[in-house]
Chains A and B, each alone.
Chain A
Amino acid sequence: MKPVIALTKGRLEKQFLKFFAELGFEVDPLLEKGRKLQIETSEFSFFFAKGVDVTTYVENGIADIGIVGGDILIEHQPDVYNLFPLPFGHCRMALATKANYQWPEQKKRIASTFTNITKNYFKDKGESVDIIKLEGSVELAPILGLADAIVDIVETGTTLKENGLVIEDEFISFSARLIANRSSLKIKRDQLVPVIERFKEGAKKA
């Protein structure tokens, strides 16, 4: 049976395919996939899912290895081997608010998709905050008065700037990472280790 690779759909998928092609792997079926969610190449079975779902599929052994953003791994702490960073998908986690914002005297309200990262960030600072979980367009929260600030991933900072927000603090840098199912790595090591080694070499060269 071919190794099964779970890929995060969207931006990371495109960056991964470029990296994968540079390593000499076959990518044509992946580039021509259209709306299909599962693709076979001569060497691998691929499927495409949201980042957090990639970790779930890998944790449960449906996929042997996966490509996922470091933010997802820090937030959700899946029980997988979190092997090494890949040379794409670079982002930072940042605390941002409106320009010249007067912080309130009382406990702050922070909106984020990453509630665990937010909780740990303020815990490390020794500060109690109320966290509001949002699923997307987090930048709206301070603008519309739902929260004092947001914790979110920042790649270029353009979205923040265009919405009148400024970065107060940047506290984690991360990139895409290679993860592996804990059993697959051992049981299918003869198939997986050569692939993982090529990824590792590719990541070092980049």
Chain B
Amino acid sequence: MFLPAGSQDETGIQISNRLRAAESFRLVTKKRNFKTISTPVVEYANTFTNQMAGMDLHSMLKWFNAEGEIEVLRPDWTAAIARAIAGQHPSEQKWSYQGSVFRFDKDETENRQAGIEIVHADQFLGEAESLLTAIAYLKNLTIDTYVIELGHTGIFDAIVGPYHFDEKQELVLLDAMHDKRSDLVEEIVTQAGHPALAEPLVALIDAYGSREIINTYRERWKKHQDLLDILSHIEKLMDLLESAGVTEVIVDLGRVKNLPYYDGIMFRGFLTNDGSTCFSGGRYDRLYEQFQQKTSAVGLAFDVDTLAKHMNAEQEPEKICILATPATHAVAEQFRIDMEEQVVDIQYQLKSDANYQKIYQVVEEDSQYKVVEK
């Protein structure tokens, strides 16, 4: 029997690390007063494809139900959580979730995620709590070589806002900025009749790096209070992250939203050793407008599969075997219960390829059973 492309069985360290990552996430978020939420794996496609969520149906695992409506395997947590908590009392602000998302456009069809959503909270508090929870979680997993990147959707919006682009041009321009494709950016704005926009946008493509970028752009944008406010906002979060011990915080001022619901700060964590993205998230107040709510919403999701690959292997406890018989199995079981720190296996016969640090056997002495080392 074969597996479809993008699916895989798991054994050994990967699954043990993933389970540890899940438990660690539960403990870290519980300590930080997050309330656990879960949504169904099967949802209506519209939850994710509506105008506010704006996700592409092509990449979803989907089918028609008996009523002819399109159902999907959950492709994204944020839109599903928004649907689920829109009706909750606003006093509930902090939510955490764990589970899989399913997409065709990734190397693996199933991707395990663990994430948080903070709604109805003060904007900076929500962003700070999201990022500090990410740091605490990575620390708990003993992952300490990572870079956090900050961006903001408002920068592109503020620069392009005064100029008119039709819908198609704007989408192509966003894609070109997303790909840092400077020649196409220049071509689109020129074709749209806004050649003056080429220089600032092409420069913005290269506006990534450490804190000096903020200082450079503070000078460059000194007449644009809206952009200066965004820079101050990003810098406040940089200060917070550095105070919390993050060794490398970078900015990408040219980063644009890759989902229409992003609406403000965007963050992403890269693992330094191989560059894989371990978490991403940001602000998405706009997503709640579909539920007639004008509120604050921010969150991030960890890629648990990526984390599991990068976690150190768990220290294996001592592995022992007790040789027993059907008649002495209960005695061996009692001995196992008493061995709290060890991995204890019970066998009736020792296999030739067995790999135990110690072997015990149940023996009878003076009509009493006892367990002794062999």
Contacts and interface: CB of A to CB of B under 8 A. Distances in A.
Contacts of A185: 180, 208
Nearest to B248: A187
B272 interface: yes
Interface string B156-189: 0000000000000000000000011111000000
Contacts of A183: 270, 275-277
B9 interface: no
Contacts of A81: 179-181
B181 A181 contact: no
Given A61-B275, A61-B276, A181-B275, A186 B179 contact: no
B181 A84 contact: yes
Contacts of A180: 180
Interface centre among B149, B180, B272 (most CB of A within 10 A): B180
Contacts of B179: 80-82
Chain A interface helix/strand/loop/mixed: mixed
B180 A83 contact: yes
A189 interface: yes
Interface residues on B, range: 10 to 19
Contacts of A51: none
A85 interface: yes
B353 interface: no
Contacts of B274: 61
A187 B180 contact: no
A115 interface: no
Nearest to B210: A189
A186 B182 contact: no
B250 A83 contact: no
A186 B181 contact: no
Contact of A189 (B183, B209, B272, B276): B209
Given A183-B275, A187-B270, A187-B272, A83 B182 contact: yes
Contact of B183 (A61, A80, A85): A85
A184 interface: yes
Contacts of B277: 183
Nearest to A80: B179
Nearest to B146: A187
Nearest to A81: B180
B180 A186 contact: no
Given A183-B270, A183-B277, A184-B275, A82 B149 contact: no
Nearest to B181: A82
Contacts of A84: 181-183
Interface string B250-292: 1010000000000000000010101111000000000000000
B270 A186 contact: yes
B121 interface: no
Contacts of A181: 275
A82 B181 CA distance: 5
B228 interface: no
A83 B178 CA distance: 10
B228 to A, nearest CB: 24
18 contacts: A61-B274, A61-B276, A80-B179, A84-B181, A84-B183, A183-B270, A183-B275, A183-B276, A184-B275, A185-B180, A185-B208, A186-B147, A186-B149, A186-B252, A187-B272, A187-B275, A189-B208, A193-B209
Given A61-B275, A84-B181, A186-B270, 11 more contacts: A61-B274, A81-B180, A82-B181, A83-B180, A83-B182, A181-B275, A183-B275, A183-B277, A186-B208, A186-B250, A193-B209
